[in-house]
Each structure stands twice: as structure tokens, then as C-alpha cells.
Structure 1
Amino acid sequence: MTTITEEANLDAASNPAAAELTMSHTPTNGGNDGAAAGAPVESGPTISDGADGGEIELELQQMEDAANTLHREGVISDSEVDEKREQVARTRKMFRELSPAERAAIVQRRREIGRELMNRQLSGAAVVRAAVRLNHTRLKPLFEQWWPYLNRMSINMQRFGRSTFGAEDQGTLTAFFEKHVGELEAYVDEQLNVAEGFRVKTEARLREQGDIVFAPSVTKPSLAVEVEAYSRFSMRVLSLLTKFDHVMDHFDFLVWNGVRDQSDIDEETSRFLRKFHPVGLRGYMTHLRLMTTVRGR
């Protein structure tokens, strides 16, 4: 197993856009269990499985959109949002100068770092082990590139949040996560109830008509891992992802039985991914800030 260097981690904290390119070429070495691996630029694939370069432009736009969201929420200042927009512009220029193979390597490296971080145990942490199964490929990169950092961030916020941000800013951050995760929970619950109810009614109607009813299932999940969650917050985020995976199970039923078109389902899924993005982005950036405090102790 490899991790990026401590120097690359610190660079990422001060300039995430530059760190994106650095990590794909930086030699790696091991670290201790108290220092989490660094991470990619403040974004993650939101539509494809992240293995191609075709989603880069969309990712960069979502980075900028997420920064604007954080600014509207009062989490970042005018100067910070301007800085993030400049980072997007610099990263866009760097990506456009890369070959498709180099772009794919960078995206793949980001996912590897997320997986590595999940395999690191944290000394002295009280954990709850959880089995995570995601049937659908489009949720796998979302999990790998955001949840490990949200998980580690959640415990380090408890341990070092006040010394890193101060009491007032820590409260602002906590309120941001609570608000957005709460809204996501309400959204996903609604989507699950609607999709399940629509499926039940559709299946009953098809059977009454004497039509063949297909009941598709995923026999090989996109992701099946066991993780150690550090907080109730981490478990809430896991629940969000697994619940929406169940929503997509119902979507599969509707597509198989010709009730909905695949493009309609893709649009619904993309909406969830866009809603999740600001939480993942802010969690990653908060993780980086907290890790500078962890290393300084």
C-alpha cells in the first residue's frame, strides 16, 4: 500500500489545484496511523466511473459551483471564493495541456488515495464497523473520493476543530454540515418513498394487464467493503449513499419494464450527485486544514 508524501499533503492544503497534478507523479511512502493520506483537488467524478477524461470539464464546473454554494452559505469569504475560482481556472488550463492518458492516470490516482485512507486505522479511535454494498457503478467513485475524508474529518473535528478553526468558525462549519446532510437525508428519503411507491403501483398495473414483469437484481455489486466509521456523522453519510443505491434499484426495475427511459434515470441520479458535491468538497477541504494541526502536534 502507498500513500502520498507529507510534503504533498501540506502542499495540497495550501494549493489544492496544484496538488492535483503533483500527486499523479509524486513518489510515495508510508505514514503513521495518525496522519491520513492526502487527497485530490477539491472535486470528484460525479457522473462516470471516473476512469475517463471526458468528465473533467464537468468536474471543474462543479468545483466552481460548489465554491459559489459555500460562499452563499457564508462558509467562505469573498477572497476565498475568488481564490477557488482562480484555482479552477489554473486547473482547467493544466488539464487541457495533459494527454488523455495523463488525465485518466490522475483521476485513477485520486480514487486509489481514497481507498488507501479507508485501510488506515486510527489509534485510540472508537469505531463502528459497517459493511458497505453499493450495487451501482455511479455511486462508487462518490464513495471512494469523498467518504474516507469525511470520515477522518469528523473525528479530527472533534479532537482538533477548536484549535484549528476557533470556536466560532468550528460552529459555522458544524452548522454547514448539519444543514446540508439534513437536506440530503430528507431528499433521499423522499426519493426512496416515491420510487418504491411508483414501483409497487407499476408492478400491480402490469400484472393486471397480463404483461410480463421483470424483476432485475444486481448479482455483482460495484462495491462491497467493510469500513470503520469514526462518528455518527460518518454513518449518516453512509446511510445516504446506501439508501440512494436502493433508489437506483427501483430505477432499474422501471427501465427493465419499459416504464422510464434510461436518460430520465440518469438525470435523477445526476441530481443527487450534484447535491452531494458541496458536502464532499467542504469535507475534503476541512480534512486538509485539520491535518495541518494533527501534524503539528
Structure 2
Amino acid sequence: MSTINEETILAAAEGTSAQGAAPDISLAASAAAGAIGLSVPPTTDGADDGEIERELQQMEDAATTLQKEGMISESEATEKRDQVARTRKLFRDLSPAERAAIVQRRREIGRELMSRQLSGAAVVPAAVRLNHTRLKPLFEQWWPYLNRMSINMQRFGRSTFGAEDQAVVTDWFEKQIGDLESYVDEQLTVAKGFRDKTESKMLALGDIVFMPSVTKPSLDIEVEAYSRFSMRLLSLMLKFDKVMDNFDFLVWNGVRDQSDVDEETSRFLRKFHPVGVRGYMTHLRLMTTVRGR
């Protein structure tokens, strides 16, 4: 099912900058601008697989199907298709500077979300230490919203989506996070095994073995997680940070080139990106229910 609704699209189209210089796209547009898979520049380290474009296409196809089945009129179907077209144009017309500003603003709001406690929520505190700078933006622009989405899905998922569609959304997230966990576990096992093998071989040859470490992490904070789902996401990021620790060893000792490491990191970001986008859009959808109460 599509998690983009008409309200978020209209909000995106009508957003204006407080200073009048550039469009201040709504939170919904922020996610979509960073995810649309067309000819525009990427906004999240190239981690763009066209997730929102597929969401928009689903909306367009759904309008045609509903019209054929007589559930909506031709004018209503046309209006929905026009909304999709306006949204596509809006995102394509954004300049690289505007797109970068959108991502930065989403990160700022994400940090604000983490500083606010949610009344009545049972939480588990968690220490988040990320050594590597490429993982910090991933955490800040997605995890705070996914964390809030996870508790609101428990509280308001049925009234927002209906029982059947709530199950569809939940199952999608479960599959995605399961696939990510398997991928990261494999990456850590391979990287650690390669490092150990390389270290043993170098020591046997009498070579100097460098043992690099990060003394100043890119992020070192404590957060409150609202669900097991949130903790699993944190675990994924922290575990891949360990993968990158092993990459550091391999680069320092001349076994791997930095470009190879960057490629592996980008692959992880691309795999995580659909979860971030879908979770962010689901968060927005749930918030329409929260605010309406």
C-alpha cells in the first residue's frame, strides 16, 4: 500500500520559505525529495533506489484502478493523477542546494525529536556511539522518526491504516529489517575474518601491523528507544560501524583501498534507504491521526 497521502503532497506543493528565498518543503516533501529516483542529484550519499517514485506510481495506478471499478469518478481520478504530476515536478525542480537544505533540516528536526520525552511511553535507554562520519547522517535523518513511528504504529496503526493494511505495513518492515540484519551479520563476519587472517599473515612475515582506532567518535549520545524495532535498527547501525572499524584496519595496512571501503559503505546505505524513507512517510501518516485526536 502507498504511505503517501494527499495531505502530505498538498503540503509539499504549498510550502514556502520563512525568508522567501527558497521553498521550505514540508517534512513529507523532504523525504520524497531525497528519495525520488530520477535524474536529480542524490541527497543521501547516493543511497537512492527510487522508493518514492514507486510510491507515486502506485498512487497513479491506484487512481486508474479505482476509476475502472467505479469507486471514484473520472474527475476524481484525474485530480489524483494531477497531484502526482505536481509532486514529481516539485521534486525535480529543486536545486542541489535546496535538496541539501531539506536533508539538513530533517536531521535538525530529528535531533529535536530525540531531546523530547514522550509522555506515557515505556522506554529503554541506549548508548549510541558511532565512530564513522558517514553513519551519523543516516542515524540523524531516519532513526528518530522510525523510533517515533514504531510506538505510534502500536498506538494508532489500526485507526490509521485499518487492521489489514496495518499488518501489511508491519510485515514489510519486518522483512526489510530481517534482510538487513542478515546482510550486516554477513558483512561483519567476512570483514572480521579477513582482518584476522591478514593480521596473522603479516605477523608471520614479520611485517609491522598497524592497529588504528577512532579516538573521537562522530556521535556519542544516549537515546530512549520506544520499541524492540527501534533497538534492532540501532543494533544494525552499531554493528555496521564495527564493520567499518575492520575496514579501517585493512586500509591502514594497505590491504584494501579507501575507494573499495566507500563502495561497501554506500551499498549498506542504499540497502537501508528504503526502510528510512518508508518509515519516515509512515510516521507522517500516523501523525495525521495523532494530531486529529
What TM-score, normalized by structure 2, do the two folds share?
0.79
1:78 equivalent in structure 2: 61
- Give the whole-Å Cα distance in 2 for the aligned partners of 1:267 and 1:255: 13
Quick one: which of 196, 201, 209 aligns to 1:205?
A: 201
State which structure, 1 or 2, has the greater radius of gyration over its C-alpha atoms: 2
2:31 equivalent in structure 1: 42
Quick one: which of 211, 214, 224 aligns to 1:218?
A: 214
Change (3 A) 1:24 1:276: farther
Unaligned runs of 5+ in 1: 1-9, 27-36, 47-55
2:68 equivalent in structure 1: none
Deviations 1:267-293 (A, max 9, x none): 000000000000000000000010010
Unaligned runs of 5+ in 2: 21-25, 64-80
Change (3 A) 1:59 1:104: closer
Asked if 1:87 is matched to 2:87, the reply is: yes
Query: What is the CA-CA distance between 1:94 and the residue it aligns to?
Result: 2.4
More displaced stretch, 209-218 vs 61-70: 61-70
Counterpart secondary structure, 2:93: helix
Quick one: which of 272, 275, 283 aligns to 2:271?
A: 275
Report 1:121-136 matches (<5 A): 121-136=117-132
Asked if 1:66 is matched to 2:66, the reply is: no
Asked if 1:262 is matched to 2:258, the reply is: yes
Query: What is the CA-CA distance between 1:42 and the residue it aligns to?
Result: 1.2
- Give the whole-Å Cα distance in 2 for the aligned partners of 1:234 and 1:84: 31
Quick one: which of 167, 171, 174 aligns to 1:175?
A: 171
Quick one: which of 140, 143, 148 aligns to 2:144?
A: 148
Conserved? CA contact 2:184–2:236, under 8 Å: yes
Conserved? CA contact 2:191–2:246, under 8 Å: yes
Query: What is the CA-CA distance between 1:71 and the residue it aligns to?
Result: 8.6
Deviations 1:205-254 (A, max 9, x none): 01111111000000000001110000000000000000000000000000
2:41 equivalent in structure 1: 57
Query: What is the CA-CA distance between 1:135 and the residue it aligns to?
Result: 0.3
Conserved? CA contact 1:45–1:141, under 8 Å: no
Q: RMSD of the alignment, in Å? A: 3.1
What letter is aligned with 2:148? Answer: R
Counterpart secondary structure, 1:226: strand
Deviations 1:78-130 (A, max 9, x none): 348x876863442121226xxx4x55544322211110011111000000000
What letter is aligned with 2:50? Answer: D
What letter is aligned with 2:61? Answer: D
Change (3 A) 1:109 1:168: same
- Give the whole-Å Cα distance in 1 for the aligned partners of 2:165 and 2:110: 27
Report 1:216-255 matches (<5 A): 216-255=212-251
Amino-acid identity (%): 66
Counterpart secondary structure, 2:209: coil
